[in-house]
Structure 1
């Protein structure tokens, strides 16, 4: 795409963007203020992170909603809404002291009651990961408006690492209490306590955030506003970066095949830092409730039929690492000694033959519908690679496409046969891994829960015992056992430990300073 074509593309939104700055707008030498132009791709279905945990919602919502803690790149807790915290000697009681003067975007104060309501009522109902964590709270008290005390039913080793803004966003009790959370009219306003608040959302064009003047951290945020531009076409996103129309990209904004070329831009730096807490794990999600996916031989056959090393190079241009099971090698408690599914068409065919799925006309054994995740062109290319790979063993993959909202609705309501999924690990299997496989997390309508419908009582037991153990050695032993069982059962087909490029204008400071990188609040991001 040339300069004229891009100008035409940008001109399409001229009316919607009238008055919206296209670049950095601040005085020369000034370090505070200015407009950050970036991208959100695809357009999120909603901005309330308590109700939706898809990546675009979390990226944008991290500026609007905050939680008790933040985390350093090595996953050490840092102050968030809580300025300090204490843990009792028996590991059951957690006491948090909130910063004074915190207000929601509607001007109402944020107090301990909002924290308790969010973590014990709303989030366990709406948030797949939070349900498994915060349901462990036996009692929650507010001795005063700035103090929160949680007493757990039993020890839970990673509780202190489960309080970031993507896991525990605090919402206003005065708006949500007693309402039907997902139908609350305030959802369109996205009222949080973060450093930025929603000014306008022009669907298909942009989301405009402006400084929350009542923000509790002194002299923050530094930026005046952030404009998330919705640019569906990958070539247009690349040109926008090249021409300086935007100062930041994240996740899938830049297609993998463009990374090497754009890494040479003199005014930008490229980093894969800022994803440590997430450790994104990508897999094929198989609906274990329906035939032939209910037979582990079929799931194993799919694992053998995928040449993941080739896929990593041809589709993802060498950025990801091939996954070997449910736990990322970049996180704690990884077990390398598990069954391996090295590429083998012969083994895949033998398993299908053993099931009685003999080749018919044209070698076809069975037809499966594949719901393509709507997160950019890379997922379309991945779907085509998977279709061709499975076709070689007689599995006819029929590709279906939808938008972000449609994918989330169909997937979360189990109205799918096979799809792609990418799930965060959050530094501990008890936070980001177990939720995908434990029976208690099979709940219709909730994304990133046990949507595959896999159930194994021994897996449930091992995950629970590992989560409540206070011995690191014992936890490793238990998690090693559960990984070996899961890799044998293959409830999903693990593919990659993903790495993502973040392109940052060299004038921008403090973009990727925590373990959640671009999902962070950006309260201290500035133009240097």
Structure 2
């Protein structure tokens, strides 16, 4: 009897051992629509869903951080690549990511120390040579050239320490390194791989896996990550679903775990659901009607016409049309939650004044050509602008296109007149003005004002260490740009939203739109 009992116990142990081995196998599906179970470990340990799928509205096009500033690309790149400094979304402050510490020796002289033993996806260890290489490559790219141009001299002290001497003082220079397009790349990867492969190599907790244009991009966790804890989720998928209604259906059916930019009509369904949740955050993006101020063949080059447009626009009406009211009307070109923001009156809605100004300018009966992307809120803004201008006898022809094509047109087509766009800066004030307003900014085609006085004021404000004087300078910039020069008519800052399975955690909305999914996970029973 004892012998039989021992045999039975032995068989049971073998069965448990085989079962345990089976449960630790990782079978990550290559089909983002296929359901999956947890990467279950031995009995008693927490079980996580293997794959998290995020439905995004706009198209992903590239993993190269320097090729575009489109949010859909930067959201994915944020998972695979890291910055020298970044915004801590829980504290809403700039902190070191790849940098361990920094010191401003003087406004034009800074020193930085990198974190030790940070591993790239290709197995190499981050050092100052990688930073130098990234800046050298960035000097040739439109998305990063304005940042790199601030540096007069880059000094390598050793493998972990470097200093930068700036052309002009900048007391917020640490924020420059938080620009997503300046994500640090592996020098060795570019020396040993084709460029299209080397750009995929970062230090983030996720590695690039596969990209099917117009469908999805997938990432797999970086098992050897030293900068972050290795994710509990094994595979992260960003699936492109342009229609908000289709994204919502996919979430309700369990085809995806979270959706970006749900329709405002679905907010109550999300917040009242027992299985879903609505996540919100006030956005920093400034949505505006912009003008090509350098187009002297068009009436838009006349600041009085631009002011008349500002008086003519009913922003409350446009907010209702574009966001169903889920946005804050803007009175200033500057975003509200930024340093040195002043609550100025701006140019108020005054249709009678607008009508008189249009008459004085002989603007009634003219045709204005406007371009924008095919994003839902921009389409609605453009259509509402078209309807509002018709009341003043101004015809607005609207052309819609994809975001990449829009940026290409704005940067190359000198005949452009007007456009609907948004600018999403970092927290620091210099970021707000330098790229889209300064004549040497990487996005100066957002206005083309090329105003030497404004350039000088932007440079002086960045270098000013006296905070009271600095505040005066930024208020002057706000007033002059918003009410006198009027390169844009600021319309609103929208409320950012995300819908998700109630049990999915690690989803962080970023006021600057580069939402974070590094720690996205779901514990399952």
Q: When the two structures are superposed, what TM-score results if normalisation uses the length of structure 1?
A: 0.85
Query: 1:410 is matched with which residue?
Result: 409
Matched, 1:492 2:485: no
Which moves more between the two structures, 146-155 or 225-234?
146-155
1:471 matches 2:466: yes
Would you say 1:281 and 2:281 are equivalent positions? no
Q: CA deviation at 1:392?
A: 0.9
* Equivalent of residue 78 in structure 1, options 95, 99, 105: 95
Tell me how far 1:249 sits from its aligned partner: 2.3
SS at structure 1 position matched to 2:373: coil
The alpha carbon displacement at 1:32 in A equals: 5.2
* Pairwise CA distance, 1:350: 1.6
Checking the alignment, whether the CA contact within 8 Å between 2:321 and 2:380 is kept in structure 1 is no
Moved over 4 A (4+): 175-179, 513-518
- The match for 1:136 is 150
Q: 1:333 maps to what in 2?
A: 340
CA contact (8 A) 1:23 1:37 kept: no
**Alpha-carbon deviations, 1:183-204, whole Å to 9, x = none?**
x741696332222122111112
Contact 2:506–2:518 (CA under 8 A) maintained in structure 1: no
Q: 1:26 aligns with which of 11, 14, 38?
A: 38
Structure 2 contact 367–395 (Cα < 8 Å) conserved = yes
Q: Does 1:300 align with 2:300?
A: no
Q: Hey, what does 2:263 align to over in structure 1?
A: 255
Is 1:378 paired with 2:396? no
Q: 1:218 to 1:304 in 2, by over 3 A?
A: closer
TM alignment of 1:318-467, pairs within 5 A: 318-342=325-349, 344-357=350-363, 359=364, 365-375=365-375, 377-414=376-413, 416-441=416-441, 448-467=443-462
**Residue 240 of structure 2 corresponds to residue 240 of structure 1:** no
- Where structure 2 has 5 or more consecutive residues not aligned to the other structure, the ranges are 1-28
Superposed CA deviations along residues 31-88 of structure 1, whole A, max 9, x for unmatched, are 5562110023211232212221011111111112111123224443333112x21314
Residues 370 and 398, structure 1, Cα contact 8 Å, conserved in 2 = yes
CA drift at 1:413: 1.8
* Partner in structure 1 of residue 123 of structure 2: 107
Asked if 2 retains the 8 angstrom alpha-carbon contact of 1:38 and 1:249, the reply is: yes
8 A Cα contact 1:40 1:231, kept in partner: yes
State the Cα deviation string for residues 152-191 of structure 1 (Å, max 9, x = none): 3443121122322615211223455899xxxx74169633
Distance 1:513 1:298 in 2: 37
Question: C-alpha deviations, 1:313-363, integer Å up to 9, x for none?
Answer: 233122111111211122221222344231x33222221221233x4xxxx
1:404 to partner: Cα distance: 3.0
Paired residues, number:
486
Q: Is the 8 A contact 1:66 1:164 kept in 2?
A: no
The structure with higher relative contact order (CA 8 Å, sep 6+) is 1
Alpha carbons of 1:308 and 1:175: their partners in 2 closer, same or farther (altered >3 Å)?
same
Instruction: Tell me, yes or no, if structure 1 residue 123 matches structure 2 residue 119.
Output: no
Quote the Cα distance in structure 1 between the aligned partners of 2:346 and 2:397.
29
Choose from 219, 222, 235 the match for 1:212: 222
Residue 86 of structure 2: SS of its match in structure 1?
Answer: strand
Q: When the two structures are superposed, what TM-score results if normalisation uses the length of structure 2?
A: 0.85
Residues 139-150 of structure 1 correspond to what in structure 2 (within 5 A)? 139-150=153-164
Larger mean CA deviation between 387-396 and 95-104 belongs to: 95-104
What is the distance in 2 between the residues matched to 1:125 and 1:207?
Answer: 27
Deviations 1:342-389 (A, max 9, x none): 1x33222221221233x4xxxxx21122213122x2322222111101
The separation in 2 between residues aligned to 1:110 and 1:373, in whole angstroms, is 38
1:228 is matched with 238
Determine the C-alpha separation between the residues in 2 that align with 1:459 and 1:331. 19
Deviation sequence 1:272-327 (CA, Å, 0-9, x none) = 23x66xx1111012111221110012111211221111221233122111111211
Match of 1:265 in 2: 273
CA spacing shift, 1:489–1:499, aligned 2, 3 Å:
same
- Assess, with a 3 A threshold, how the Cα gap between structure 1 residues 219 and 456 changes in structure 2: closer, same or farther: closer
Name whichever of 220-229 and 130-139 sits farther off.
130-139
Compared CA separation, residues 515 and 477, structure 1 to 2 (3 A): same
Contact kept, 8 Å, 1:158 with 1:431, in 2: the verdict is no
Residue pair 1:46, 1:188 contacting (<8 A) in 2 also = no
Query: Contact conserved, 2:79 with 2:206, CA < 8 A, in 1?
Result: yes
Instruction: Report if aligned partners of 2:372, 2:421 keep a CA contact under 8 Å in 1.
Output: no
Conserved in 1, the CA contact under 8 Å of 2:289 and 2:420? yes
Whole-Å separation in 1 of the counterparts to 2:347 and 2:510: 34
8 Å CA contact 1:104–1:191 kept in 2: the answer is yes
Give the 3-state SS of the residue equivalent to 1:78 in structure 2: strand
Evaluate the alpha carbon distance shift between residue 459 and residue 177 of structure 1 in structure 2; reply closer, same or farther with a 3 A threshold.
farther
Give CA deviations for 1:241-300 in whole Å, capped at 9, x if unaligned.
2222222223xx312333233332222332223x66xx1111012111221110012111
Where does residue 6 of structure 1 map in the other structure?
A: none
**Deviations 1:420-476 (CA, angstroms, capped at 9, x unpaired):** 1111121122013332211222xxxx6x43432112222112111111111211111
Distance 1:175 1:312 in 2: 46
- Backbone CA RMSD of aligned residues: 2.7
* Structure with max Cα Rg: 2
